[in-house]
A and B are shown apart, each in its own frame.
Chain A
């Protein structure tokens, strides 16, 4: 990754934790998919999670906005604990934005309608104001000219940028990314990563599940390696890539960075 776009991790992280996961376990039936996860995420921190498929990375971040339910342990997001309390779940979801691997734009709505849906129906914002917010973020992701089009008319990279803008319209405190570039053709990956880097530059707290190691190197405060439902190792990008501590990490890195 070009060093000029590397967002420095020298800016001091606030000590304030925005997400706390304490001894979290999750089972799918008998399968122990997340085993004793302990993780603290600070405000404005950027974390990249990598690992082999089936390691539980996606499940982990999906637990953070309650798309999956955990059975043991605690998850606290911005002071709100995730339990069966529906009101709390909804509050958390408005503060946590999620970008999916397969974009999940609403095909029957235009781009701008996709973006204004959340503000209008959840934050009860008047239509005009919602559209102004939407146009602002569309310009930020460099796709304002497509506002009236429909998702079916855009390329994968364009759709993913719209998806990012859609989450941003809700003014989240944390952005979760679930393999955002895995479903994209190679030539479109850069445009999406560039948007994510700009987002990082502005100080957004981000948790990214991804295999894009260049992105991790230039933007992340921490890189975590997960395997078999556990966080095996976590370190600054330099330490992580230069001095992996565990054999499993070393094996994984050798497979990824050839």
Chain B
């Protein structure tokens, strides 16, 4: 019956001042309601008590490039422990003059990682680049060919060792994990049982027990006279450990595949291997990329455990510096530095994983 027309007034009515702009934001986010206001005040007080003293310790009173004695006299943070021992912390016992080689190897790794970020480049050339890259990295570290002086693996240490254990660990663990996951689904009783036992056993025990096992027990398994070097033992333990977790991740992906895919492949006449290689695995593995990256991050953090079996990874080189009488007592600074390195590595990987998840759920 009636027309209800709203005459749009020419001058726009503005929303109440208290709900927009900076004031609006502060009101909505920090002080909405008495509980939140009280919380904000308590939190600000807590921050005021802790942050300025920390800044004073870390930056204002700190010393950056001096000897240990000066550090002890000063009151603030002693960052000199890092600046003076920089190369040892990063490279361990690797011969001083030849340290450009592990540095180059790390640069190659970072370049490869950088390019691998872009999913559009995930094709055959990238895989070949990785294989070549890994080979070159190993060569650079080891030497012995092409006029490079050989460097025994006992001298490898620091960041290159950490990266080596993580990268080779994951690259070897991934195919093994996929095989285990497929084996777990197999119809052959023996294979299935073997895989389940392996996966549940490894996942149920702490990594340290595997490291102990590999460093103490492996030598016993071998005939006399044959020895494996320490790094290889640790590497094998890390590979075995990571593979079990990857297997579970892949299993999740395989379970997400519909029966229709298997049936379609069968009807085209593909056999088991072809079905897996061409139809099932490409899809299943794509689905579980985010949890896989999460496994990589875990593997990276777990390499720090080799400290316990006295391998000179980044954590152990730091501790070695700390046992030097000149630099004793500055554990905080040293550990904070190492923590920052690990944090940068893990954070960039987890950020990438989140970005990837968003992309994949959008369906690009």
Contact with A along B7-37 (1 / 0, CB 8 A): 0100011011001100010000000000000
Pairwise interchain contact A231-B4, C-beta atoms closer than 8 A: yes
B37 → chain A closest CB, angstroms: 16
Contact of A32 among B2, B3, B5, B15 (CB under 8 A): B15
Pairwise interchain contact A27-B19, C-beta atoms closer than 8 A: yes
A145 at the interface (CB under 8 A from B): no
* Chain A residues positioned under 8 Å from B5 (CB to CB): 232-233, 246
A166 at the interface (CB under 8 A from B): no
Pairwise interchain contact B16-A35, C-beta atoms closer than 8 A: no
* Chain A residues positioned under 8 Å from B1 (CB to CB): 222, 235-236, 239
* Chain A residues positioned under 8 Å from B24 (CB to CB): 29
Pairwise interchain contact A233-B3, C-beta atoms closer than 8 A: yes
A72 at the interface (CB under 8 A from B): yes
B50 at the interface (CB under 8 A from A): no
B258 at the interface (CB under 8 A from A): no
* Chain B residues positioned under 8 Å from A224 (CB to CB): 4
Residue from B2, B4, B24 having most chain A Cβ neighbours under 10 A: B4
Pairwise interchain contact A32-B20, C-beta atoms closer than 8 A: no
The answer for the CA separation of A172 and B13 in the assembled complex, in Å, is 35
Interface residues of A in 21-46 (CB under 8 A from B): 25, 27, 29-30, 32, 35-39
The number of residues on chain B lying at the interface, defined by a beta carbon within 8 Å of a beta carbon of chain A, is: 14
A89 → chain B closest CB, angstroms: 15
CB-CB nearest in chain B for A228: B8
Q: Chain A interface mostly helix, strand, loop or mixed?
A: strand
Pairwise interchain contact A234-B12, C-beta atoms closer than 8 A: no
| A-B interface pairs (CB < 8 A), number | 49
CB-CB nearest in chain B for A26: B15
B118 at the interface (CB under 8 A from A): no
Q: Indicate whether A27 sits within 8 Å of B4 (C-beta atoms), given known contacts A32-B13, A35-B13.
A: no
A110 at the interface (CB under 8 A from B): no
A230 at the interface (CB under 8 A from B): yes
A171 at the interface (CB under 8 A from B): no
The answer for the CA separation of A88 and B256 in the assembled complex, in Å, is 49
* Chain B residues positioned under 8 Å from A37 (CB to CB): 6
B6 → chain A closest CB, angstroms: 4
* Chain A residues positioned under 8 Å from B3 (CB to CB): 233-235, 245
The answer for the CA separation of A222 and B2 in the assembled complex, in Å, is 9
* Chain B residues positioned under 8 Å from A236 (CB to CB): 1
The answer for the CA separation of A245 and B4 in the assembled complex, in Å, is 11
The answer for the CA separation of A39 and B5 in the assembled complex, in Å, is 11
The answer for the CA separation of A38 and B16 in the assembled complex, in Å, is 19
B88 → chain A closest CB, angstroms: 55
The answer for the CA separation of A71 and B15 in the assembled complex, in Å, is 8
Contact of B16 among A71, A222, A231, A245 (CB under 8 A): A71
CB-CB nearest in chain A for B13: A25
What are 9 sample pairs from A and B whose C-beta atoms fall under 8 A apart? A25-B13, A25-B15, A27-B15, A29-B24, A30-B15, A30-B20, A230-B8, A234-B4, A235-B2
What 6 A-B pairs come out closest when comparing CB atoms?
A27-B15, A230-B6, A234-B4, A231-B4, A36-B6, A71-B16
